[in-house]
Amino acid sequence: MVDQGLISGSNFALGILLARWLGAVEYGEYALAFAIFVLLSLVYQSLLLEPMSVFGPSAYRQKLRGYTGTLIWIHVAIAFATFVLLGGAALVFGHFPRFGDLPSALLGASIAAPCVLLFWLARRVYYLKLASSKAAVGAVLYSVLLFGILALLHSLHMMSPMLAFVIMAVAALVTSSYLLLRFKPVFTWKNADPTLQQVMRENWHYGQWALASAIFMWVPWNIFYTLVASFSGIAHSGELRALLNFALPLAQTYAAFSLLFLPHAASINKDKGWNAVRRDSNRITMLFVLGGIVYWAGICIFRTKLIALLYAGQYTNIKHLLPWIGLASIFWGAAQGPALALRARKTPASVFVMYLVSAAVAVGVGVPATLRYGLAGAVAAMLLASAAAWITGMIRLAKAPAMAELQQAA
């Protein structure tokens, strides 16, 4: 929890500081570039990080150093592809003057991507050894470097969207080097154990459904940066990011607890059966919903003062949209309960359907709503998409026993 809290807290604080120091247009450029980076990073999370969390502590428990060395080769390939795609996007957008400095922000994201992804890998390695305290040391180092460099550049009046990404790159690269040097992974090309081909085959077999689900999970909360920027201007994309910054701490809390609840639910499914998992799913849903209500009640009651304080008087014109973002966030948290149960039952296709429906609502409603009503339409579409994810998850959860019987009969 300390490790997760430091990283999510650093991301939240960075977003707030950039909103204070950058103009609305520059902040919108940063938000749009970051959303594109998050989309590309889903490939990395689904095909490398999630499978390593499953196979590392089980199949490769006795040879983690060799396994980590093999994973780093895969990291190089995915990180290079991400660098090329973001760099290519920067070149493409550079031909359109209406996008302003967005190309330089994308260039910064292309520099940051390989370093940040390596940092994610280096931290996750220590979780395989159940040594999260060492990962937390890395989180402390990353936070100190990030805010130390950030303060220096701000004092020199050199802050820009591109430099924000470069700061992340430097902090992540230094911290990753420290963590990996302590872990001492084994790099072998020809006689690797396990082999590169073996690990790639396992990761693809496990991660293909996770990748599809993750992409559709990205859509309801990130596609609107592009829609708002296209229909209303990049400055309004910055306003959307300023709103969503308030949802970030709760989303990170959901993610942190999910890391604990998923293996617990899988164990319950094996030992006590599906009905016990479903009961636990309902409890988790209630926990997330009640926690979300308490969190957002405080945010909404004091939203005027909070926005003025955090953003130095900027973005007060959008405070009326904050309760609707809160409601969308609560529905999104409620959807995590059925999603965790379905993952524990090893039915990733059902999770895929949940987020496919949510993404379809986001696009089908979001495009005309954003075109007609701008930022308010985008927020309304996000609310409907989040509610759709929860409703679909509950339906799939209710049908899960019947689907299992059909699979066994087939």
Task: Please tell me whether residues 26 and 127 are part of one structural domain.
Answer: yes
Task: Please tell me whether residues 111 and 171 are part of one structural domain.
Answer: yes
Task: Please tell me whether residues 263 and 383 are part of one structural domain.
Answer: yes
User: Mean pLDDT, consecutive 10-residue segments, the chain of 410 residues?
Assistant: 77 85 85 86 83 70 78 89 90 79 89 92 78 81 92 87 92 92 76 74 76 83 85 85 88 76 69 80 91 94 90 86 95 90 76 91 93 92 95 87 48
DSSP at 99: G
Please report whether residue 180 resides in a domain. yes
Task: Please tell me whether residues 87 and 8 are part of one structural domain.
Answer: yes
Model pLDDT, residue 408? 42
Residue 157: which domain range? 1-210
pTM of the predicted model, to two decimals?
0.75
Task: Please tell me whether residues 282 and 346 are part of one structural domain.
Answer: yes
Model pLDDT, residue 370? 92
Task: Please tell me whether residues 186 and 39 are part of one structural domain.
Answer: yes
Task: Please tell me whether residues 110 and 256 are part of one structural domain.
Answer: no
Please report whether residue 202 resides in a domain. yes
Please report whether residue 286 resides in a domain. yes
Task: Please tell me whether residues 299 and 177 are part of one structural domain.
Answer: no
Looking at 156, 182, 210, which one is the last position of a domain?
Answer: 210
Distance from C-alpha of 318 to C-alpha of 199, rounded to nearest angstrom: 48
Task: Please tell me whether residues 44 and 156 are part of one structural domain.
Answer: yes
Model pLDDT, residue 210? 74
Looking at 162, 193, 210, which one is the last position of a domain?
Answer: 210
CB atoms within 10 A of CB 283: 12
Please report whether residue 338 resides in a domain. yes
Please report whether residue 225 resides in a domain. no
Task: Please tell me whether residues 135 and 181 are part of one structural domain.
Answer: yes
Is 187 strand, coil or helix? Answer: coil
The DSSP annotation for 213-255 comes to: HHHHHHHHHHHHHHHHHHHH-HHHHHHHHHHHTTTHHHHHHHH
Please report whether residue 228 resides in a domain. no
Model pLDDT, residue 330? 95
Model pLDDT, residue 138? 85
- State how many domains the chain has: 2
Q: Which two tokens stand for residue 279?
A: 């009961």
Please report whether residue 408 resides in a domain. no
The candidate with the shortest Cα–Cα distance to 121, out of 33, 34, 211, 183, is 183
Task: Please tell me whether residues 257 and 197 are part of one structural domain.
Answer: no
Contact 74, 200 (CB under 8 A): yes
Distance from C-alpha of 253 to C-alpha of 250, rounded to nearest angstrom: 5
Please report whether residue 227 resides in a domain. no
Looking at 185, 210, 235, which one is the last position of a domain?
Answer: 210
Task: Please tell me whether residues 206 and 255 are part of one structural domain.
Answer: no
Q: Please state at what angle helix 196-232 crosses helix 24-44, rounded to 10 degrees.
A: 150
Model pLDDT, residue 376? 93
